[in-house]
Amino acid sequence: MKKLFLMLFFLPLVGFTQEPEFKKGIPEDLDKEKIIFLKHEPIKLSEFEEETKSTEYILQRQKNHNRILAQSNGKLEIAAMDYPFEYAITTPSTYFSLAEAGYKYVLQSSVYQYEHLMAQLPEDELLVFEYFIFDMQNNIAYEVFRLDEMKVYDFKLVIKRLKKAIKAAE
């Protein structure tokens, strides 16, 4: 199931027709290539015909997501300054133009699809998102770290984990 989800997630990214190759670690040329960091985008609030505890919960999660975006994305601008190589910051819906402009990598995660905000999770379940450096030219996804859903808006932590993975690969 996980493999199918990842395949469905990566295939549409840049027009690939086959599943990416998955690797652990960091691309060897990351220090020489440009990477794209994705900031969070607002989502459209769900509309429900009837109000239940479940729908109230879903709407609350969606409203919280939209409410903290400006602060979270602002922290990405600051945290990215600690990244030692060339980068750009954009949104998940607009980064393809940067790929066409020569950016080879994007720090990608299924968190940017926001599916986790569209349904109620089982009680006591904490989602964990894998972050990949996706090589858009060669269709390779490098798994670099994981974050639980409570930390996906903490871009200082995201950049810190990325830098730690780079250092570990040296």
**Residues 8-33: tens digit of each pLDDT:** 354 445 455 578 899 988 999 999 99
Is 5 inside a domain boundary?
no
* pLDDT per position as a tens digit, 29-59: 999 999 999 999 999 998 888 888 888 989 9
Q: Which of 37-46, 62-71, 119-128 has the lowest mean pLDDT?
A: 119-128
105-109/128-135 β-pairing: antiparallel
> What is the rounded CA–CA span in Å between residue 160 and residue 167?
10
> What is the rounded CA–CA span in Å between residue 104 and residue 146?
22
Is 152 inside a domain boundary?
yes
Is 2 inside a domain boundary?
no
Is 11 inside a domain boundary?
no
Is 74 inside a domain boundary?
yes
Number of domains, the chain: 1
Average pLDDT over residues 61-84: 94
Is 14 inside a domain boundary?
no
| List of long-range contacts for 52-58, beta carbons under 8 Å, 24+ apart | 54/120, 57/120, 58/117, 58/118, 58/119, 58/120
Is 164 inside a domain boundary?
yes
**Res 12: pLDDT:** 47
**Res 18: pLDDT:** 76
3-state SS assignment for residue 150: coil
**Res 52: pLDDT:** 87
* pLDDT per position as a tens digit, 141-151: 999 999 998 89
Average pLDDT over the chain, rounded to whole?
A: 87
Q: Domain of residue 123: give its range.
A: 23-169
- Name the E strands within the chain: 21-24, 35-38, 87-90, 105-109, 128-135, 140-148
